[in-house]
Chains A and B, each alone.
Chain A
Amino acid sequence: QVQLQQSGPGLVKPSQTLSLTCAISGDSVFSDSAGWNWIRQSPSRGLEWLGRTFYRSMWLHEYAVSVKSRITINPDTSRNQFSLQLNSVTPDDTAVYYCTRDLSMRFDYWGQGTLVTVSS
């Protein structure tokens, strides 16, 4: 059974960097069939896919156009986890952030969600 456990602060100041981590159990970040994603949800934007990292003989990354200039998703192979960094946040980035596993871009396992509020 795959489990994803999220951690990170729930409050970030405007212009700073949002950082979250997702610990994987029951699977490996090196999986050659899975991808490791971040998705957020807010009343204004609904569910919004942000990006993913995945291993196919090398580490690959894909990001949504809407956040491509501000986002980094990285694996942490020593801890079997992956992280999200979103730079230069504004109140519009306030949302519940989820980490998820994908198999062929269907999201079958989700973290518990982290409400991140951007406010001074």
Chain B
Amino acid sequence: EIVLTQSPGTLSLSPGERATLSCRASQSISDTYFAWYQQKPGRAPRLLIYGASNRATGIPDRFSGSGSGTDFTLTISRLEPEDFAVYYCQHHGFLSRDVTFGPGTKVDIK
């Protein structure tokens, strides 16, 4: 079973700053099946990035994803007030039932 580890656990930044979030897999994975989500309190997660680097419909271009193998990154180029939230990475393996989520990174206001 592939384990996803996210770092840091919490990222304290100010609006306008750049956020860099990391997700590391316990073994090499396909970037085709890698995604990022944003979740705000009391809300369902929202798909941001799929295929490691493709923005989902309606996602602003300040969000970008990159990476391959075991290391993936979500970058928010300039934080807007609405970007303070928890971010999760997600992967699924060759078998669809092997779906895993990372534990999340909280981006909060400094």
B47/A63 in contact, CB under 8 A = no
* Bound form: Cα–Cα A48–B46 in Å: 15
Total number of B residues with any Cβ neighbor in A under 8 Å: 24
Tell me the nearest residue of chain A to B100, going by C-beta: A49
Q: Which one of A8-16, A25-33, A78-86, A110-118 contacts B?
A: A110-118
* Bound form: Cα–Cα A35–B96 in Å: 10
With A49-B99, A104-B33, A106-B35 as given contacts, are A98 and B44 in contact (CB-CB < 8 Å)? yes
State the 8 A-B residue pairs at the shortest beta-carbon distance, nearest first: A110-B44, A49-B99, A47-B101, A105-B92, A106-B50, A62-B97, A106-B35, A108-B47
Residues of the B chain whose Cβ atoms lie less than 8 Å from the Cβ of A98: 44-45
Given A48, A51, A63, A112, which contacts B101 in the complex, CB threshold below 8 Å?
A48
**B residues in contact (CB < 8 Å) with A:** 33, 35, 37, 43-47, 50-51, 56-57, 88, 90, 92, 95-97, 99-104
Given B56, B88, B102, which contacts A108 in the complex, CB threshold below 8 Å?
B56
Looking at the assembled complex, report how far the CB atom of B51 sits from the nearest CB atom of chain A, in whole angstroms.
8
